[in-house]
Homo-oligomer: A and B are copies of this chain.
Amino acid sequence: MSPAPRTEITLELATEFARTLRIDSLRATAAANAGHPTSAASAAELMAVLGARHFRFDAREPSHPDNDRFILSKGHASALQYAWLKAFGAIDDAELLTYGQVGSRLEGHPRPLLPWVDVATGSLGQGIACGVGIALSLKQLEHTSSRVFVLCGDSEMAEGSVWEAFEHADHYDLDNFVVMVDVNSLGQRGTTMVGHDTAVLARRAEAFGWTAFEVDGHDVAQIDDAFGRAGVSGRPTVVLAKTIKGKGLVDVEGRQGWHGRPHPEPLAALAALGEPTARLFPSTELGPVPSPAPTGQAVDLPAYEVGDLVATRLAYGQALVAIGDARQQVVVLDAETNNSTYAELFAAAHPERYFEMFIAEQQMVGTAVGLAARGWTVYTSTFASFTTRAFDFVRMAAIGGMALRMCGSHAGLSVGESGASGMGLEDIACFRAIPGSHVFQPADATAAAGLTLLAADLAGFTYLRTTRAPVPVLYPRGTPFLDGGSHLLRSSAADRVTVVASGSSVHAALAAAARLSTDGLAVRVIDAYSVKPVDVSALLSAAEQTDLIVTVEDHYPEGGLGSVVAEVLAEAGSSTRLVRLAVRSVPGCGPTAALAAIAGIDADGIVRAIVDALAT
């Protein structure tokens, strides 16, 4: 697996490069008067040897599939990555000195504003997870010999997500994956959990199926030797480099208390470092970038008969198969729940594009981010209750601008007897707060299939919420489902009340409206399947044309559909009163219908709320 090192660059020159990386990291952070120069300095030899002798890279063609990939998991050492990119000629010195300024591509933590940065980092323990996704793509989907290198800090080895990445890299035999750990022993606040004990980290890595090399992280020959042997064993490789924080920087080298602070005397430190080398890292001629794969044919979504009973989660799985049939770039992941989410249908139809993530939701999203960075259209799924386990990974994906889709199935009270731990009742609130996100909740199978397809081409993060039980199909084939759309399911000129619902609550709303109509009360029903963005004009029409709006949701009252409608009404200065029905305390367990009745979000509850509201 491991190509021979480029011996035209001597180890002496690699040492010069290390000095140059320190100098440029220091200059960038000094210019910004911010940043983490000590965290950059400890890893200078690792990055110098990598760039000089091992990393296959054509900086002019950042999207070339034969480029090796690099991820800075310890994103706070961003100045080091920028100095390294400068040493490849990717950025120039003027841009280097814009570090941390408003509008600069060189942010405090790397983001894919730069074409050589694949994923956003800065929340620790995530770069390695995304690296697994990229390595998986390169090896199993793209079949290239490119490799992925990730630089981790030692503090972040305490994050459990790191060990999820280790186990998945082992499980998927990622011998193209090399992780460097900069073991400088000093965290932000003090000594890390294991200090300089690289042996304990080596034992852990080996127990997870990896090959581990312990090296002196300032000895270029030892580092070079480790990189030269990476992957030879057929396993993923970790290089555990014992280093000194702030190495080479006078006044701060090896001292506690200098995490995340610019150097106090940068000019003196620069003077002590001497002159940088004018040489660049060697670039690899990779030839022209291959044309992108065709985007696929028209998707033939599954069709459902109005009135048939079909669970929205089943329609999700069936739609995935159809989308995957038409589009070769669709990849699906699931976290050990694919027989519930129905991702298993895709796994059976397209096994080469399905990857089981086991019960590791954070790694599922990390893998998805890595795959998305390689251009795949990725869908992920698990129970709605467990989607938020990966919240911080979704947050980082959004910061990185990745397009990503997540389906949370068995949402809300639909798990019944399982009890509250299995009920996703806060998922909409969380994912609605993700910048640029889309949140969809289909009320029937046609909507679920349509929204699953819609998500394929949306930018940003899309959350699709499905439910357990079969529900009647409401919409005929071909009904459009749009980002920001809604459907008016019941309306008349006589409407006095509007019920706004989505998902399974739509059926309760329809039942309530039918019952009230027999008492002579006309009730409008809006299926707000697009919770974010919401259909503002449909809501404002309802506010103008009816006296009362009732929202119904199988979700806690904060941050869900009721909040969305409140925001629209209040911003418009509407005086139409809003009643929000939602699950207002931790549910017990029992049959779903009984729990919905207790929460007051079933048809009876809606009728009662409307009657009460009109009486006051």
Q: Which residues of A contact B (CB under 8 A)?
A: 32, 34-35, 75-76, 100-104, 107-109, 111, 120-125, 155-156, 158-164, 167, 171, 187-190, 192-193, 200, 203-204, 206-209, 334, 336-340, 344, 356, 358-360, 362-363, 385-386, 388-389, 391-392, 395-396, 398-399, 401, 416-422, 425-426, 429-430, 432-436, 532, 556-560, 562-563, 565-567, 569-580, 584-586, 588-591, 594-595, 598
Pull 13 A–B residue pairs with CB atoms less than 8 Å apart, ordered by A: A34-B417, A108-B418, A160-B162, A160-B360, A187-B359, A188-B339, A386-B392, A426-B430, A432-B559, A558-B559, A566-B566, A566-B570, A573-B577
Q: How distant is the Cα of A334 from the Cα of B190 in the complex, in angstroms?
A: 12
Shortest CB–CB separation between residue A422 and chain B, in angstroms?
6
CA gap between A209 and B76 in the complex, in Å? 30
Contact A160 B161 (CB under 8 A): yes
Given contacts A395-B388, A570-B570, A577-B572, contact A189 B102 (CB under 8 A): no
- Contact: B193 with A167, CB < 8 Å? yes
A418 to B76, CA, bound (A): 8
CA distance A164 to B158 in the complex (A): 7
**Contact: B586 with A398, CB < 8 Å?**
yes
With A163-B160, A399-B586, A426-B430: A559-B559 Cβ-Cβ less than 8 Å: yes
- Residues from chain B with a CB closer than 8 A to the CB of A101 are 590
Q: Which residues of B contact A336 (CB under 8 A)?
A: 155, 158, 187-189
Residues of B within 8 A of A356 (CB): 189-190
In whole angstroms, how far apart are the Cα atoms of A588 and B106 in the complex?
10
CB–CB B102/A556 < 8 A: no
What is the CA–CA distance of A200 and B190 in the complex, to the nearest angstrom?
32
Q: Is the CB of B386 within 8 A of A388?
A: no
- Quick check: B100 and A188 within 8 Å, CB to CB? no
Contacts of A120 in B (CB 8 A): 420-421
How far is A324 from B339 in the complex, measured between Cα atoms in Å?
50
A123 with B385, Cβ < 8 A, contacts A417-B32, A432-B429 known = yes
How many copies make up the complex?
2
B residues within 8 A CB of A207?
Answer: 200, 203-204, 206-207
Q: Are A588 and B102 in contact (CB under 8 A)?
A: yes
- A532 contacts which chain B residues (CB < 8 A)? 558
Beta-carbon nearest neighbor of A156 in chain B: B359
- The distance in angstroms between the C-alpha atoms of A388 and B363, with both chains bound, is 16
Contact A189 B339 (CB under 8 A): yes
Q: A111-B420, A171-B193 are in contact. Are A102 and B164 (CB under 8 A)?
A: no
Q: Chain B contacts of A589 at CB under 8 A?
A: 100, 102, 104, 107-109
Most buried by B among A188, A344, A572, A598: A188
Which of chain B's residues have a CB closer than 8 A to the CB of A556?
433, 435
- Given A158-B167, A419-B122, A429-B430, does the pair A187, B358 have CB atoms closer than 8 Å? yes
Partner of A567, one of B337, B576, B580: B580
Contact between chains at A422 and B391 (CB < 8 Å): no
What chain B residues lie within 8 Å of A399 (beta carbons)? 420-421, 586
Interfacial chain B residues near A200, Cβ < 8 Å: 207, 209
Let me know if B386 and A389 touch, CB within 8 A: no
In the bound complex, how far is the Cα of B338 from the Cα of A109, in angstroms?
21
Contact A585 to B426, CB < 8 A, known contacts A123-B389, A155-B358: no
